[in-house]
Amino acid sequence: MTNSSEISFRQFQQLIRDMYLEKDMARGVDGTFMWLMEEIGELASCLRNGTHEERLGEFADVIAWLTTIANVAGVDLTEAVMKKYGSGCPGCSQFICTCDNAEKP
């Protein structure tokens, strides 16, 4: 469906929408959020003890569940990331962050 070396947020969000939207809508945001949390836990565990291959899988799962929640909530991830990070760091507006280390980013 796409060049395997490149995939956009728009393409991925559509892929997940096509694959899961019907189930996602039935489950709703709350139920879907529980799955995201489970995957976040698996990612944490994997970052401590997992192999590189396992980490690839867990990152993919977290992104997929996050995308599914965005679909249910009607949020366009491309718009989200471009608006917040497309013009530089939201803290200092630089493309290489110069915020104080104690600050959030």
Site residues (CB under 8 A) for a copy of itself?
1-2, 4-10, 12, 15-16, 18-20, 23, 26, 29, 33, 35-37, 40, 44, 47, 52, 55-57, 59-64, 66, 69-70, 73-86, 88-89, 94-97, 101, 104-105
- In angstroms, give the least distance from the CB of 91 to a copy of itself: 10
**68, burial (CB in 10 Å: exposed 0-12, middle 13-18, buried 19+):** buried
Copy the structure tokens of residue 89: 């760091």
- In angstroms, give the least distance from the CB of 52 to a copy of itself: 7
Angle at 85 between CA 100 and CA 18, to 5 degrees: 140
